[in-house]
Structure formats: C-alpha cells, structure tokens
Amino acid sequence: MNRNTLKPRILLFIILIFSVCAVNALTLNPLIEAPDGHTLINQKPLLFNEQIIFVTEQNDDYTLWAYDLSDHSYTTLHTFEDYFYPKFYVMGGYFYFKDNFFTNLPHYNRLWKSDGTPLGTKSVDGAPLHKTPMYQKGNLIFARSALNEQMLTVYDGHVIENQLRDSASDFDTSMPNLACGFGVRDFIYPVYLFYSNQISLVRYHYNNAVDYSESLPVGFELDEDLVWYYEDTCLYHIDAQQFSDILVIPEQDDHYFLGEQLGFSEVNYLTRFKNHYYMIAYEENGGSQLVKLSSDLSKVEKQVEFGFYLGIMTLTVSNEYLIAYAHSGPTASPPAWTTSYYDENLNKILGLGGPFTDVPEVYPRDGGETVVINHYTNGLNLKTLTTDITNQSPGLDLNQNELINIITDEDKTETFALIKDLRSGQSSIKTLEAVPDMGALSVGNWFDPDYQNQGMSIVEGLRDDGSRYLFVTLYLFRDGQPLWLAGTSNINYPQPTLDIELGEYSGLGLWQADTPAQVEKFADMTLSMDGCHQMMMNLETMDGQTFNIALQRMVNNDINQFCKD
C-alpha cells in the first residue's frame, strides 16, 4: 500500500483534531502488588524516607520489603519464619518493630531496627520483649519486658532501660500503653495492682520516685487514648466516681489538675491545634463547653457552650478545622449525634458536618491532608476518599473495595492506600494522584462520540512470570472496509504514558485455521490519561503524519471505585 495516499479520513479518531483541558481527577493508581508467589498482608505499611515498607506472606514465611519510590524497585529487608504482623515506629533515621517470636523462649519477642536496607535491618541488643504490643510517646518506645511482666522496658533509640517496680507483687502487671516520659531514666510507670484491682501511677526520675497515686481519687481509671505528650509535658485523664480531670505532669515543674486550676468541675478531653490547646469541659450547671486555652495551659482564651442535650465526646484536628463530635448518650432513645467544625478562634463553620454525620478520618501530609469520610446509605457504610475536607460529597467511591489503611507522612506530599479487592481477596497498595495511571485504569473501550461503530479497546493481561501488559486494538474503517490495528506494550506501575507500535493485520479469511495474518507496521502511538474518562492519543504514521486525538471512555461505572473526576 502506498502510504502517501493515506488520508486523515480513514481513521475515526484523526478526522478532527481536538484540544482537551486537563481534568482534576482523583484516582487510586496501582503501585505495589505482592511479588510473584507472595500475598500482601493487611498490616499497615510505612512511608519511610523514599520507600514504602510492607510485609508479604509465602508458605508461612513473612518477608519485610522496601519499595523504592524513585526507581520502583523491590528490596527484601528480612524474612521471618514465623507469624509476623509488625507495627512500625519511627525515631531518628530508623524505624522500629518487634517480631512475634524469640528463639527458645516461646511467645517472647525481639526489638528490631532498620534504616531501610538489608544490612541495616537487625535486632536490637537487650532484654527480650513480651508478646504484647509496644507503644510510642514522643521519642520513647515503651514495652513490657518478657523476663518479668512487672518490668517496664524503655528505649530511646540508643539506650534500653528496664525498670522493675520495687513493691510490685508477682501478679502485678506493667502497662506500657499508659506510659509516658522524658527519657530512659525519667518516665511515668503505670502498673495494674492485682490484689487491690487498682492502677498505680509512679514517676521514676533517675534514683527518685514520685507516686502520684497518693493524690488521685480512689479507684481512678486511665484510658490509653486519653494519655497525651506535648512539649515535654505528660497529661493523663483521670476518671473516677464523680471526678474527671486532667493530671498535668511537666518535665520540670510540679504536677497539677488542669480543670481544678482553671475553675471547671469536669474536664475529659484535650488536643492541640494551631499552637493552642483545646479541651472539653463542664461547668457546675452541667453544660458542656468547648474551651480554647493559652499555649502554656495557664488561662482560658475563649469558650463556647455546646448545650445540655448533646455532650461533646471527642475533638479531631484537621489542617484548618477543629471538629467536635457530640452525642446524646446511651440513655437517649433514639440516640442523636452531630459534628461541628470550628476555626482556631472557635467560630463555627457553616456548611460542614451537621446532625448524624461522623467525624472524618484525617491523615496529615506535607502541604495538605487526606480525608476519609463515612456515608451511611441503606445500612451500608460507604467511604469517600478526598484531599479536600470542605468538599465532602465528591471523592473516590470505595464501595467495591475495602479500604484497609491510609499511608501518609507529615513530611511527605504523597498519599498511599492499602486496598483489599473484595472479589479476589487480594490486597495491593495504590497511590492517590490527580492524573490516572495508564495501567489498569486505562482498561476499557474508548471512542469519539461523533462517530459510531468504531473505537479502541484496551485489555490488561498477566504473564506467567508476573509481568503485565496491555493489548490495544483499534476497530476502524478505510474506504468502506474494516481496518484492524493492534499492538502490545508491557506496563510497570506507575505508568503515566504508554508507547505502542501499531500493526495493520490482513490476509485471513473467516475462521481460517493455521494461517498467520500478514502484519505491517502502521504507526507509533502514545497514550496518556487526562482524567478518569478522558484519554489523549498521539499517533505518528509510517508516512510521517502526526495526530493528537481526544478520546472518551464508554460508560463503565465500575471505574468509579478507583477514579473520580
């Protein structure tokens, strides 16, 4: 065929040249799938430096991996020959975790550290840890010792300190979930006292001990979600019969009760927002108050009365808003709840939250935040993923998949998500971006709406070696006769553009067996996506003609679970 006779009219897509505006799409692009033969477990990955740290399982072995975000390579950090679902803690230039076994000591664990390299991933010398979880407050990691359950282990990345309470009995138990402190030899050591069924709260300050229990109400309780560490200060919510206040323990000064000092009869929650403290308090008349405190906790700067019917339960901080969640309590029938959004001066923001709306999950990152919003429809909890907390209805619809974890870091701009496919049961890690990836999100049928019965099809395939490819087929007409163009290209996540060599196929009869088609190179094509349902095609034919074509996806609502314009 004389390529010089090729005219733009022979191709559906190149009769007219369109310009297309970029679409602000929100999309979950494929990034990490478990290496061949492995299964990615539903344990929260870690964004560490320029890597994602995750764990896979294969034949009862568990492998700790590092995925390099710059060159998209996988590195095995260590393989554990036993059950391994770690929780990661970052201090300095290392992340820390513990395994779930210890040689010759059943149910004991070792502490590990890693700098993200195989040689830098190793166990930390020191006493073994108990199988119960570790906890981090500030720059200290707390754990229960495996050698003695009354012993609290404290680690700062350099030194391990093991403290045994002098008066503890064989039945008492240290409580690392409630520990807080300022150094490996200056920390607050909570212990559950078995015989008295109470908690002891003692500060071990080098060679001295201060027992706060003596000044606390009898039978007081602590909650691990209500222990805070801010700027060299530990704060404990103390709850007892007819008593609710926050015990403030500075590193240098004497301890005191926050509500008592500020004149409130009850205080039950505290958070920090834009360099100020905010708390939930109650006055003598029983009305709940949202209170803004000075940065040194010494005075009230503003307070807003919330009312009697709904009591404020929690405070959540986003980049720009303080979110108060209030509930009518267990005695109300039917129960009622609401969320209210405030700025830093406790001015209520209209149009956000409202009755019977839940508190969003906020994941801070450099330059913004990623937000998960719950919607209840017909008894189903439908999650929306967004990067704009003020725009709560549009977003990424995750109905068909289970959102396991969001992975962000306050020093990184990226957002990643651990997603479980409810149909296959397999999990993968995806990256949240504004432009769709040319991998799985490009799969489907594409066309120009001005021309009928012609278009392009893209399918994805998986080879035996674990590599993936896209097979692209163009169904066209030329001079009244069908024209079939096709090509194949390997894909690697992430894949912002896709280059494909198109061939023209001819010579076959209908279902003609054992006869190969004739293939002649027709054009080089580059595909890229501008939105969830918009694709650009750049095509250069063998005779030198160049075309830029705007395509759109045929209707397929399944894509909305991964991509939303």
The pLDDT confidence band at residue 102, using thresholds 50, 70 and 90, is low
Residues in contact with 53: Cβ distance below 8 Å, sequence separation at least 6, in sequence order: 45, 46, 47, 64, 65, 66, 67, 77, 88, 95, 114, 116
Give the residue with greater pLDDT, 460 vs 287: 460
Q: What is the pLDDT of residue 14?
A: 33
Give the number of other CB atoms < 10 A from CB of residue 21. 9
Q: What is the pLDDT of residues 187-201, one digit of tens each?
A: 999 999 988 889 999
State the total domains in the chain. 1
Give the number of other CB atoms < 10 A from CB of residue 187. 22
Within a domain: residue 196? no
Within a domain: residue 502? yes
In sequence order, what DSSP letters do the residues of 16-69 get, joined into one string?
S----PPP--EEEEEEE-PPTT-EE-SS--EEETTEEEEEEEETTEEEEEEEET
Is residue 483 over pLDDT 90? Answer: no
Q: Once rounded to an integer, what is the mean pLDDT over residues 515-541?
A: 91
Instruction: Show the tokens assigned to 114.
Output: 């890693």
Within a domain: residue 499? yes
pTM for this prediction: 0.86
Within a domain: residue 532? yes
Q: Once rounded to an integer, what is the mean pLDDT over residues 524-549?
A: 91
Whether 289 contacts 270, CB under 8 Å: no
Task: Annotate 98-130 with three-state secondary structure.
Answer: ECCCCCCCCCCECEEEECCCCCCCEECCCCCEC
CATH code at 454? 2.40.128
The pLDDT confidence band at residue 466, using thresholds 50, 70 and 90, is confident
Within a domain: residue 325? no
Backbone angles phi, psi at 558, to 5 degrees: -60, -30
Within a domain: residue 490? yes
Is residue 10 over pLDDT 70? Answer: no
Q: Measuring CA to CA, which residue among 417, 440, 537, 426 is closest to residue 495?
A: 440
Q: Is 232 left (phi over 0), alpha (psi -120 to 50) or beta?
A: left
Within a domain: residue 346? no
Range of the domain at 448: 3-25+439-564
* Lowest mean pLDDT, pick from 397-401, 480-484, 518-522: 397-401
Distance in angstroms (rounded) separating the CA atoms of residues 367 and 383: 23
Within a domain: residue 485? yes
**Amino acid letter for position 244:** S
Is residue 94 over pLDDT 90? Answer: yes
Residues in contact with 446: Cβ distance below 8 Å, sequence separation at least 6, in sequence order: 455, 456, 457, 458, 535, 551, 552, 553, 554
* Lowest mean pLDDT, pick from 181-185, 203-207, 304-308, 532-536: 304-308
